[in-house]
Amino acid sequence: MPRMTEPDKHVFLKEAHVGVITSLRRSGMPYSVPVWWLYESECFWLTGTDNRVWCKQLQNDTRCSLCIEALSPLAGFVAVDGHAELLGRDSFDIWP
């Protein structure tokens, strides 16, 4: 599959696709789950609660991967690796 161009990535990330976040267990083994996401201002935004396993794991180790994938009509994906920045509930309004 050919790589997406930057303009194609921006179009792709405006569409509704499922994301999969991968965080790390204490043992170092990966843990992957589907998540809803928003791409805005060159950042990926995810919402989760303190009782979600992946949120707890990111509190322990901020390293993570996120894969946004489309399955139809044509396959495609955007994948990023990095560190999560955890924001508390008081840091922002999720319903601006």
For 19-55, write each residue's pLDDT tens digit: 999 999 999 999 999 999 999 989 999 988 888 999 9
Q: 18 and 34 in contact (C-beta within 8 Å)?
A: yes
pLDDT (0 to 100) of residue 91: 65
Q: Which residue has the higher pLDDT, 74 or 39?
A: 39
Averaged pLDDT, 78-95: 81
Which of 22, 1, 25 lies closest to 68, judged by CA? 22
Q: Which residue has the higher pLDDT, 93 or 4?
A: 4
Question: What architecture does CATH give domain 6-89?
Answer: Roll (2.30)
For 67-81, give one letter per residue: b (16+ CB within 10 A) or e.
Answer: bbeeeeeeebebeee
Give CA torsion, residues 11, 7, 34, 92, to 10 deg. Answer: -80
The domain segmentation of the chain, as residue ranges, is: 6-89
pLDDT (0 to 100) of residue 96: 52
Average model confidence (pLDDT) for the chain? 89
